[in-house]
Amino acid sequence: MTPAPVLFISNGTAEDLIGARLAGLLKRPVLSSPLVGEGQAYAELNGARRVGRVLRLPSGGFPFGSLDNLWADLRAGLIGESLGQWTDAVRGASDAAAIIVVGDAYALMVGTVAARKNRLPLVHVQPLLSAQYLDGLGVRGTLQELNALGANRPLPYELRLARRADAVFVRDAATQRYYQQRGVPARFAGSFAMDVLPPPERELHLSAARPVLALLPGSRGDHRESLPVMLRAAALLPEVTPLVAWPHTWNAVTLPDGWTLQVQSETEARATGEAAEVVLWRQAFGAVARAADIAIGTSGTANEQLAGLGVPVVAFATGGPQYTVGFARRQGRLLGAALRVVEADPAALAAEVRTLLSQGTRRAGAALAGLTRVGPAGALPVIAAEIEALAQSGRPQVHSPHI
């Protein structure tokens, strides 16, 4: 007899990836309800079935990153389509054995409604919040980042919802302590970011004579602005081997003026200009990440993964939609000495890379900060076992008709 499915609700590219990797560890059918975008990570799972409508947002899932992002999303039908997704999730969970939320407070609200309506166990995987975002924030910082208030710390309603979940998993040990002090029996079982870091996909055939500089433009639209700056910075560093981990199609490559792109294959291309040649790799993030000695990144999860490998990351803010000034500032608090944010200038980036490579003590401090703040992999098998146990135990008693 086929076991009942579990429903995954997630709201973001990284969240979808974590959910899909987690779903792949389960021995039961999978339903998915991605609240932002196509949910491509779930689509790649054999037999996974999508529940509900697709919400395509101009902001890429960051409506509160700026007023422009919010206005664009509202014009795209954010409110009406989002409410429709709540209904879709409730209906889609009617035959499920459990609901798994991978995401923020909003996703948890949707999952809580669906779980209560269908009397199902609820597991919350919170890969976004970290108590480390509060390091040195203070009152002034809080006022500067009012649009990220719920991203910097769990708000009272999120804590209330989390207390009612059957299991809560958080991204680091500091956040476990923060939640537990507020009555949420949260657990840190390992880093979600490191769990979804892929193994090396191919041999890159690199020379051992020069350090490798990984360029991480990210999966969001920031790459259109950040890749040209990164390439020009790499051209100022002839002592390194620069590699771009490119997650898009070749048609999406934006080059600096005077540069050209030669596509070698579906997975390899070469950008040349200013007396430099930089190799771009598709479907090779795991290989590039593990080859890197240092990185320049305008990415969320990828920056964290490189830091988690002990690789120092240099970053700069873009006009968005993701890696804005506020986002860069917040990631700096998350990663500490593992991340250095400088101005969006090729010369400034090159100078920071050269300094880190030449100062062994500073580089070692950055590596240690990344390893300790991000933490090791290992969470997803623990969470998968918890889900199986809850799904087999049956429907829980509803504590109250109110959320």
Element (H, E) at 100: strand 98-102
Instruction: Find the largest Cα–Cα distance for the chain.
Output: 68
CATH topology classification for 6-196+377-393: Rossmann fold (3.40.50)
109/157 Cα distance (integer angstroms)? 9
Which whole-number Å values give the CA distances from 270 to 23, 57, 203, 278, 363, in the listed order? 36, 32, 17, 6, 29
Q: pLDDT by residue (tens digit) across 340-383?
A: 999 999 999 999 999 999 999 999 999 999 999 999 999 999 99
Q: Is the peptide bond before 321 cis (omega within 30 degrees of 0)?
A: yes
With a pLDDT cut of 90, the percent of the chain lying above it is 72
Work out the pLDDT band at 398, boundaries 50, 70, 90: very low
pLDDT mean across residues, the chain = 89
Q: pLDDT by residue (tens digit) across 158-195?
A: 999 999 999 999 999 999 999 999 999 999 999 999 99
SS3 197: coil
**Beta bridge pairs of residue 50:** 32
Are the CB atoms for 391 and 6 separated by under 8 Å? yes
Are the CB atoms for 175 and 192 separated by under 8 Å? no
Of the candidates 394, 334, 338, 346, the residue with the CA atom closest to the CA atom of residue 371: 338
Scan for tokens 């960051």, then name that residue: 62
CATH topology classification for 212-374: Rossmann fold (3.40.50)
Residue type, 64: F
State the pTM of this model.
0.86
Q: pLDDT by residue (tens digit) across 186-238?
A: 999 999 999 999 999 999 989 878 999 999 999 989 999 999 999 999 999 99
The pLDDT value recorded for residue 399 is 43
Which whole-number Å values give the CA distances from 86 to 13, 55, 128, 388, in the listed order? 19, 12, 21, 25
- Orientation of helix 67-75 relative to helix 78-92, angle to 10°: 70
312/371 Cα distance (integer angstroms)? 10
Are the CB atoms for 15 and 39 separated by under 8 Å? no
State mean pLDDT over 33-52: 86
166/92 Cα distance (integer angstroms)? 20
39/62 Cα distance (integer angstroms)? 16
Q: Give backbone dihedrals phi and psi of 246, rounded to 5 degrees, phi first.
A: -105, 115
171/291 Cα distance (integer angstroms)? 25
C-alpha count within 13 angstroms, C-beta hemisphere, residue 73: 22
Q: pLDDT by residue (tens digit) across 283-341?
A: 999 999 999 999 999 999 999 999 999 999 999 999 988 999 989 999 999 999 999 99
Q: In what order do the strands lie in the sheet with 313-315?
A: 260-263, 268-273, 276-282, 241-246, 212-216, 294-297, 313-315, 339-341
Work out the pLDDT band at 403, boundaries 50, 70, 90: very low
Counts for the chain of helices (H) and strands (E), in that order: 17, 15
- Orientation of helix 325-335 relative to helix 360-374, angle to 10°: 90
The pLDDT value recorded for residue 236 is 98
Residue type, 379: A
293/311 Cα distance (integer angstroms)? 6
The pLDDT value recorded for residue 339 is 98
Q: Where are the domains of the chain?
A: 6-196+377-393, 212-374
